[in-house]
Structures are given as structure tokens and as C-alpha cells.
Structure 1
Amino acid sequence: MNSWRTGTRTQYRTYLSQWEKYCSDSDKNPLEPDPVLVIEFLTSLYEKGCGYSVINTARSALSSVLCLPNGVPIGQHVLVKRFLRGVFNCRPALPRYKQTWDVKVVLDYIEEKGSNTELTLKELSLKMTMLLALVTGQRSQTLRYLSIDNMIKCEKKVIFRLTELLKQSRPGFHLQPIVLHSFEVENLCVVKCLEKYLQKTEDLRSSSQLLISFAKPHKPVTTDTISRWLKTLMREAGVDVSVFTGHSTRSASTSAASMVGVPIQQIMDTAGWSSTCVFAKFYAKPVLPVSCSYSNAVLSSVSAC
């Protein structure tokens, strides 16, 4: 069970429970690796309106507990694999976005809001979260794990070490320390914003987690709250949030960095991707060597556009 991350465990529990009930109603043994029974179960999900992603997750859940006599997971049986290909053809799981939004829209809005001292705690919290997301290209999960106990202040930059398991963490690979660089435009400088945010929340926090709620009792925020904050500021700035979620800051940030010539390998290292293939496929543009930091390149895209 410990081989599953918390999110995987939650996902799999849903479909394993449904599988157990389906077998009970059919008077079948849920531990019997019967490909026909598995396909019938997956078909029942399809008939309920489930798409490819859901059914594929259910297949993965069953594969984790059911194996054929030769040791092959049930999900790798030739008929089960063909069934999944058929589901994909009928209800394909296509990318959510064909294009991403321009970070200039949000950065212009942030700059026009005024200096950090003029912002309320709510406005400062949303600004802090958005700048962190854009200059690091990270998921909400990673932003949640930023801790002031693991923060190192240096001249013109701040470094956060990450000591928690992340989605991309695996044996031999973990995200590099996150480095926040100063930027010449003060209203867009993530380091200046961080300094003001820490000052304003110093007497409110009871946790070492960087991002805390702006409402009493000022508890550490969850991943969902961070995504909601990002989406709120995007909506205020004029981004179509009926299309784009809070997680889209990741693609918007890395696309902006690519547009101003940040090398693909630097983007991959900053965002925490280990393979350049997918990124190169969607952002294959002439790349010029640059000496600026990733975060400054993203913020500089305002003047480049």
C-alpha cells in the first residue's frame, strides 16, 4: 500500500470498491483474474458515461491487484488492451488546451495594482501565489510545500529546499531547490513581494508553511486553495477561466520562457521534467543562449511581447 502515493490510493480505492460491489452483485470472486469479467465491469463504467481517462484509471486499479497465471497484470491482457483502444476511439482523452494564455495579461494586471504596501492581505496573498507559480513553473502541490524553515536568503535571491515527496519525485530524481531571483520592476519582483508577505503574516502564522490563509485562523492552505487563488487572480486579470484552470500557469510560464529564448533543458530543470521530448514537440522554436535566470526571463516577456 505504501507503494501508492496518497492521490493514487484515493483514486484506486474508488474503483476497487466499485469492482468489489460489481463482483458481489454478479456472484463472482473479485480476486479472480477473469479478463471477460474485467471487460464487462469496464463496460458498465462506459455505459454510465465514463470516458477513457476514468476507465483507464479503473483498469490500472484492477491491474494493481489482479494478475494472470503467467504473472502479467490483468490490464495487459490482449482483449482488455483492445477494449481500452476502442474506448479511446469512441471517447478520446484529448489535451485540455490547444493553446495557453499570455502571462503578459496577468503581469500587467499585477503591476497596475500598485506597490506591495498598498495591497490588502488577500491581494498580497494572491499576488504572491501567482508570482511563485509563474517564476517557478511549478504545480500548486509544490507551492504548498514551500516552507520558511527551508528558506535561505541570499543577496538578490531566495532559495527554497524541498523536503517533501512531490508528484515527480522517484528513486534517483527529485526537484532541484527553487531559486527566486530579484527583478528590476519592483511591482513584479517576487523577492520584494515575498519580503512584504512574510512581514505582513509574521504575527499571524502558526505554521512554517509559506502560504497561509488570509482569513482567520490563518491556517496553512491546501493545494486546492492555491489553485483557486490562481484562478481568482486570472479571472480578475481577464483570463478566460471557463477554459483555463489554476494549473494552466505551468504551461503559460514555460511557454513564456520558451518564447524569450530560455534553453529547453533549463526549462525542464526548473519545471521538474526529466524528459525533453514532449516539451520539444510542442515548443520547438529557435532557441538562443541566454544568461538571465528562468524567473527573470518569464517576467521580461512582458516587454518582449
Structure 2
Amino acid sequence: MGSAAPRPDGNSAQRQGSTFFQPKARTRIGGGRCASDSMALSHPSLCVPPLALSRQGVKASRIPSGTSDSSCSRVAKKTVVCGPSQSRQGRALTVGPPSEPSSSRTSIFRSSGSLLSGGLAYERRRLRKKGYSEPVISTLLRARRPSTTLAYARVWKAFDSWCATAQVQPCRASIADILTFLQDGLKKGLAYSSLRVQVSALGCLRGKFEGSSLACHPDVARFLRGVRNLRPPLRAPCPSWSLNLVLEGLTVAPFEPLRRASLKDLTLKTVFLVAIASARRVSELQALWCREPFLRISASGVSLCTVPSFLPKVVSAFHVNQSVDLPSFSEKELQSSHGSDLKRLDVRRVLLRYLEVTNDFRRSDHLFVLWQGPKKGLQASKATIARWLTCSIASTYIGCGKSVPDGLKAHSLRSQASSWAESTQVSTQEICRAATWKSLHTFARHYRVDVRGPSAASFGSSVIRAGLSGSHPI
């Protein structure tokens, strides 16, 4: 080929000589790089470039943009240079772009394809045996929420892996096989609620056993009762963080005054006040709209609605058509001894300021939008809003010089809001309407926490005082 001109990839000590590449058939890979399907060795001292073993090696071996041919040679390491003792016959050399690692971010729709393929195939097959048409089957499969379907898919995947190890066909698993699978989950530390989800998922996968559903099978029901006795569903009787401390922290810097608060602190304060004043789930907060007619502002407060396409956890006329009503304190309340703090915690005032600041960069009609990064102005996800809620609690604790409580969860705001409302003698109907519970049983069983403190001991003190003042028995 002649003498090589000086360039970054060249070696001046080995420019001259008759060593050259002789391409037999060249196939373009793309991006201006060419590769030879086979290269014949015309001299025993042929030098081939080493394969890139790392991302840095790949970048170093790339030809600058604008170069149309990449058949130029580089001196290879000694271990890959064909010497006289090695075979002189040319071998096919496959050259391709470096393999890039797959993205770790998997969306709910991207992951559903691989997770649901096995379970839905079994379920579709079972529904086809009943004589249902494909449109009917598609409608039947939409009876579950996407989150429930994905939870079932994870159970199906775990059960399929277990069946492969136990050499059992998933569609022909017996009650004994299913109970063994559940026992393995109990041994790994799964809670009673998780095992109930597994029973529901396997019931959809397997169908009926002996004329009844899997959950109603006597042995399965007895197994679940045993799990509940072994691991009863306990919940903390007291809240893990103090609402009083957090509200006091929101009335001072860096959250006040609002005109000087950063966009981050303003967002954290707005999200927390809306969540605690409404007792709504994070999914409902994420679906709130900031345009009319879904947003109505008046002197008495703010009324918000979710977008019509949003489906709540329970799809019913009661849950779908509920609005989020945020109050505003009256002038009489603002003139009281705690009037200055109430004004700083007025949800209407904080929300209007948030809408005013975000209006300049807003790219979504969702109420809460991202405040930084390349997606600034787009709607915030449920995970992001949940992180903002826990971050607002942690920020107030740090600002007060206290250690952040362990195990902070955004869902704990619902129990705090409803429990404090009950302590101030708010009617049960109002609590259930605000938190979208159809009955008080849900609040009493899952969300009620003791926020009253030592005053709850009035019963015991009354008994002792009455016993001391009473007459002695005959």
C-alpha cells in the first residue's frame, strides 16, 4: 500500500514494508466504517488491530468523523500478531459495533410484554375453552387494573420458574404443588397479604379446583388462616413522624417567605400541603389538572379535579367523581393568636404562588410538574411526588435539628390527615368523603393511628379517682 502518513493511530517505526491488507469481500457496517469479511495474509508479519475490550478502547479505535474508510492498520499486541510459526491461512474476521448495555429503565409497558406473555397465554387459553370470542376475552382481561396485572405477572413468572425447578407443568399443578410454592414464599419471609396476592394470581392462571376457585379451596383457605396466625398483619399504633413539627418547619425559612423560597422548597411545601389537606393517594395527586374547568379558585378555597382518563384504585361512581377541595382560612381565623402561622400554611395562598411561578416554564397541564433537569415543566410521576412528600418531611426535621425518622412513606400522610381530622371531631361521613372511603371500616382497620397522646389515658385516671373516692365494700 506504500508508506503510511503520520497520524495518531500510526506507528512511525513500522511504516515501511510490504505488509498490507488485501480485502476479499467488503461489507459496509455503517457510520463510515468498513469491515472485510475475510482478509488474506500476504506477509507473515501482518498486524491486525486488537479487539476493544472496554468502552474506552472502543472510543480510541474509532475513526474520526468524515473518514470514509477504516481499513487502515494499527499495530496489534504481540499476542495477536501472526508470526512465522502460526498458520498463514486467512480467517474470516467479523467486525461490528460494540455492544451497548441495555437501559436499566424499563417502563410499565415495556416490561409487561415479557412478564405477561406466559400468564396471559394460559388465561387466554382457558377463556377460549369456554367459547368466548377474542373481543370478549380482551374485555375480560381489562377487568383488572394494570398495576394488578403486573403484580400477577410477577407471581406467574416466579411460579413458572419454581415449576421448572420442581419439574411441574404450571397449567397442571395440583393443590399440593401450589401449597408447596406458597410455603416456600412463607419461608422466604413473604407476608400474609403477599401470599393472598399469589393465591389470587394463581387462581386466574389455573382456574377452578374441584368446582371452586383456588382461594375458596378448603386447604388453601386453611393455609392462609395458618399464615395469618403465624404472621398477623400488625401496624404501628402511633405515627412515625410528627405533623406538628413538620407544619412548624414549613412556616420558617427556607419555605417562608414565599417570595424568597427556591423553586424546590416551594414545590415541596405545595405538594405536602395539598396532600395533607386532601388525604388523597399519590396517584390522585399526580392526576390533578390545573386548567379550567378542572381547577376552580374562589375566596373560600380551591377545588381540583382529576383528568377524566384517570382511573382511581376503586372504579365506581363514588370514587371517580370526587373532587379535591382545599380550604382557605377566613379573616377571623387569621386574626387569632396563631393567625400568622395559619396564613403561612394557607393552601390556597401557597398553591396560587406555585401556579404563578411554574407558569413560565410549564409544559404540562398536570398540577405538579418537574422543577429541574431536561424534563423541566413536564408532569411529575407518582414516584417523584412520593419522593417529594418524604423529602419535605425530612427537610423540616433537618431544619429543626432533629434526626429524620426511619421508614418514611408518602402513604402515611393519609393516616395522619384522617386521624387528626377524627381527633377534632370531624364527622365520619366527611372523613370518608375526603379520603374516598366508602365506609369507616377501611379507616378504622388500616389508617387510624393514635395522635391524641396522653389524653387518651383519661379512662384509666377516672377509674382510679372514682375508686379512691368511693365507699368501702361491706
TM-score (normalised: structure 1):
0.86
Distance 1:94 1:199, change over 3 A: same
Q: SS state of the match for residue 126, structure 1?
A: helix
Q: Does residue 294 of structure 2 align to residue 155 of structure 1? A: no
**Aligned residue number for residue 162 of structure 2:** 22
Counterpart of 2:415, as a letter, is S
**Aligned residue number for residue 222 of structure 1:** 381
Distance 1:9 1:24, change over 3 A: same
Counterpart of 2:410, as a letter, is G
Residues 19 and 41, structure 1, Cα contact 8 Å, conserved in 2: yes
Cα displacement string for residues 61-107 of structure 1 (whole angstroms, at most 9, x for unaligned residues): 11222233554221221111111222222233322x21124422111
Residues 68 and 74, structure 1, Cα contact 8 Å, conserved in 2: yes
**Aligned residue number for residue 328 of structure 2:** 182
Counterpart of 1:177, as a letter, is S
Distance 1:4 1:268, change over 3 A: same
Residues 66 and 73, structure 1, Cα contact 8 Å, conserved in 2: no
Counterpart of 1:257, as a letter, is A
**Aligned residue number for residue 270 of structure 1:** 434
Q: Name segments (4+ residues, structure 1) moved above 4 Å.
A: 280-285
Residues 144 and 211, structure 1, Cα contact 8 Å, conserved in 2: yes
1:157 Cα deviation from its structure 2 partner = 1.9
**Aligned residue number for residue 200 of structure 2:** 60
| Distance in 2 (alpha carbons) for counterparts of 1:221 and 1:137 | 19
Residues 62 and 75, structure 1, Cα contact 8 Å, conserved in 2: no
Counterpart of 2:237, as a letter, is K
Q: CA RMSD in A?
A: 2.3
Which structure dedicates a bigger proportion of its chain to helix? 1
**Aligned residue number for residue 276 of structure 2:** 134
Residues 432 and 440, structure 2, Cα contact 8 Å, conserved in 1: yes
| Distance in 1 (alpha carbons) for counterparts of 2:405 and 2:413 | 11
Q: SS state of the match for residue 116, structure 1?
A: coil
Residues 168 and 175, structure 1, Cα contact 8 Å, conserved in 2: no
1:23 Cα deviation from its structure 2 partner = 2.2
**Aligned residue number for residue 144 of structure 1:** 286
Counterpart of 1:144, as a letter, is Q
| Distance in 1 (alpha carbons) for counterparts of 2:318 and 2:301 | 27
Residues 128 and 193, structure 1, Cα contact 8 Å, conserved in 2: yes
Structure 2 residue corresponding to 1:198, chosen from 355, 361, 365: 355
Structure 2 residue corresponding to 1:169, chosen from 307, 315, 318: 315
| Distance in 1 (alpha carbons) for counterparts of 2:177 and 2:318 | 39
| Distance in 2 (alpha carbons) for counterparts of 1:236 and 1:130 | 12
Distance 1:18 1:243, change over 3 A: closer
| Distance in 1 (alpha carbons) for counterparts of 2:180 and 2:227 | 13
Structure 1 residue corresponding to 2:424, chosen from 236, 260, 263: 260
| Distance in 2 (alpha carbons) for counterparts of 1:189 and 1:130 | 12
Cα displacement string for residues 237-260 of structure 1 (whole angstroms, at most 9, x for unaligned residues): 228531431211111111111122
Q: Which range is displaced more, 143-152 or 17-26?
A: 17-26
Larger Rg, first or second structure (1 or 2): 2
Distance 1:284 1:230, change over 3 A: closer
1:284 Cα deviation from its structure 2 partner = 10
For these two proteins, the number of residue pairs brought into alignment is 285
Counterpart of 1:271, as a letter, is A
Q: Does residue 247 of structure 2 align to residue 90 of structure 1? A: no
Q: Which range is displaced more, 263-272 or 154-163?
A: 154-163
Q: SS state of the match for residue 117, structure 1?
A: coil
Residues 415 and 449, structure 2, Cα contact 8 Å, conserved in 1: no
Distance 1:210 1:89, change over 3 A: same
1:175 Cα deviation from its structure 2 partner = 5.0
Residues 63 and 75, structure 1, Cα contact 8 Å, conserved in 2: yes
| Distance in 2 (alpha carbons) for counterparts of 1:172 and 1:249 | 22
Gaps of 5+ in 2: 1-140, 335-341, 398-402, 452-474
Q: SS state of the match for residue 152, structure 1?
A: strand
Distance 1:263 1:171, change over 3 A: closer
**Aligned residue number for residue 128 of structure 2:** none
Distance 1:194 1:142, change over 3 A: same
Residues 228 and 246, structure 1, Cα contact 8 Å, conserved in 2: yes
Asked which structure has the greater RCO (Cα within 8 Å, sep 6+), the reply is 1
| Distance in 1 (alpha carbons) for counterparts of 2:424 and 2:147 | 35
TM-score (normalised: structure 2):
0.56
Q: Does residue 368 of structure 2 align to residue 211 of structure 1? A: yes
**Aligned residue number for residue 237 of structure 1:** 396
Q: SS state of the match for residue 118, structure 1?
A: coil
Distance 1:279 1:46, change over 3 A: closer
Residues 137 and 253, structure 1, Cα contact 8 Å, conserved in 2: yes
**Aligned residue number for residue 299 of structure 1:** none
| Distance in 1 (alpha carbons) for counterparts of 2:318 and 2:392 | 36
| Distance in 1 (alpha carbons) for counterparts of 2:290 and 2:428 | 30
**Aligned residue number for residue 297 of structure 1:** none
| Distance in 2 (alpha carbons) for counterparts of 1:171 and 1:270 | 15
Distance 1:69 1:229, change over 3 A: closer
Residues 144 and 221, structure 1, Cα contact 8 Å, conserved in 2: yes
Distance 1:192 1:215, change over 3 A: same
1:178 Cα deviation from its structure 2 partner = 0.9
